């Protein structure tokens, strides 16, 4: 038997469509990246050194408190009395919920402690005071 | 004048480096995108309901904040930067120490955070937040 060696097969990887594939990846990442789901209130967060990261975004719920005393949850304004009901519903839906309090540095403590009380009533006990990193 | 017409030699855009350029863009965006993570001071609130717990007086360190952000630590006016040092020393003397933070209703949130941050720096695990009435 005689084997004829095939020499005509080109051994090159076709690279012509490579840019297309990579552009597609780029566009995929650009489209799927969600930058922010809600805008909240304009707050100037206080700064702190000993900060810890919140573990997951999924189990986090934000309460925004502006320096004028406005309270916003999920882009809707609420009064302080509404908080315990909303937070109770959220906690029932997700028992692991962590409340992130995004309060303005000029907000007053009476409001913050009012929110503490409402969160205790709602049994949402894990609280995180959202801050920025203090750089010396 | 010799106005010789040049023969057109099939123009081509070099596409071999296109992949590199696209990769570079991809990597640039991957690196520069910061997914803003939430960070802050974590705290666990006590459950609802007034549960009175008897605590011996020597295990409590009172920390009062007035409306102007001045701190009174165990009856002593203390600059905010020194709280962690003092609390740290007190914690080494007595590991059952509970720091009770009480803020005036008109205290700015910023001053309160500064105190909580100092307590965290001193590794105070037991922080009690009293209601500002």
State the residue range of the domain holding B84. Answer: 57-129
Q: Within a domain: residue B105? A: yes
pLDDT top residue among B50 and B32: B32
Does the residue B13 lie in any domain? no
Residues A105, B113: C-beta atoms closer than 8 Å: yes
Write down the mean pLDDT value for chain B: 81
CA distance A106 to chain B (A): 5
pLDDT, one tens digit for every residue, chain A (136 residues): 667 666 677 778 777 788 788 888 888 887 777 666 667 778 888 888 888 888 777 788 888 998 888 898 888 888 888 888 899 999 999 888 888 888 998 888 888 888 888 888 888 888 898 888 887 6
CA B50 – CA A30 distance, rounded (Å): 51
Residue B98 pLDDT = 85
Residue B91: predicted pLDDT: 86
Q: Does B22 touch chain A (CB under 8 A)?
A: yes
Which is more confident, A30 or B113?
Answer: B113
Determine how many CB atoms are found less than 10 A away from the CB of residue B86. Answer: 17
CA gap B80, B59 in Å, rounded: 21
* pLDDT at res. A38: 66
What is the pLDDT averaged over residues B52-68?
82
Are A125 and B46 within 8 A, CB to CB? yes
Asked if B95 contacts B103 with a C-beta cutoff of 8 angstroms, the reply is no
* pLDDT tens-digit map of B13-24: 777 787 788 888
CATH tag for A47-133 (out of 1.10.1060.10, 3.10.100.10, 3.30.420.270, 3.30.450.60): 3.30.420.270
Supply the CATH number for residue B64's domain: 3.30.420.270
Query: Domain residue spans in chain A?
Result: 47-133
Q: How many domains does chain B have?
A: 1
Identify all chain A residues contacting B45, using CB atoms and an 8 Å cutoff.
Answer: 116, 119-120, 125-127
Q: Which of A53, A45, A44, A50 is nearest to A136 (CA)?
A: A50
- The C-alpha R_g of chain B, in whole angstroms, comes to 31
Q: Is residue B125 part of a domain?
A: yes
B5, pLDDT greater than 60: yes
Are the beta carbons of A109 and B107 closer than 8 angstroms? yes
Q: Mean pLDDT over residues B65-94, rounded?
A: 85
pLDDT category at B79 given cuts 50, 70, 90 is: confident
């Amino acid at each position: 038997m005689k084997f004829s060696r095939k020499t005509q097969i080109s051994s090159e990887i076709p690279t012509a469509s490579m840019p297309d594939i990579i552009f597609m990846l780029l566009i995929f990442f650009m489209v799927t990246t969600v930058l922010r789901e809600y805008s909240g209130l304009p707050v100037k967060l206080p700064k702190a050194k000993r900060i810890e990261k919140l573990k997951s975004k999924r189990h986090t719920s934000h309460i925004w408190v502006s320096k004028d005393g406005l309270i916003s949850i999920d882009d809707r304004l609420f009064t302080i009395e509404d908080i315990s009901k909303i937070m109770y519903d959220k906690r029932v839906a997700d028992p692991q919920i962590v409340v992130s309090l995004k309060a303005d540095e000029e907000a007053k403590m009476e409001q913050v402690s009012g929110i503490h009380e409402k969160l205790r009533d709602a049994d949402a006990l894990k609280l995180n005071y959202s801050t920025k990193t203090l750089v010396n | 004048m010799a106005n010789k017409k040049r023969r057109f030699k099939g123009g081509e855009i070099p596409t071999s480096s296109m992949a590199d350029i696209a990769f570079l863009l991809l990597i640039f965006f991957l690196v520069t995108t910061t997914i803003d993570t939430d960070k802050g001071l974590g705290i666990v609130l006590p459950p609802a309901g007034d549960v009175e717990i008897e605590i011996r007086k020597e295990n409590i360190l009172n920390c009062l904040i007035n409306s102007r952000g001045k701190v009174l630590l165990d009856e002593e006016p203390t600059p905010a930067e020194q709280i962690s040092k003092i609390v740290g020393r007190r914690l080494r003397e007595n590991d059952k120490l509970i720091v009770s933070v009480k803020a005036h209703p008109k205290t700015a949130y910023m001053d309160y955070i500064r105190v909580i941050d100092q307590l965290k720096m001193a590794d105070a695990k037991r922080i009690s937040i009293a209601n500002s009435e």
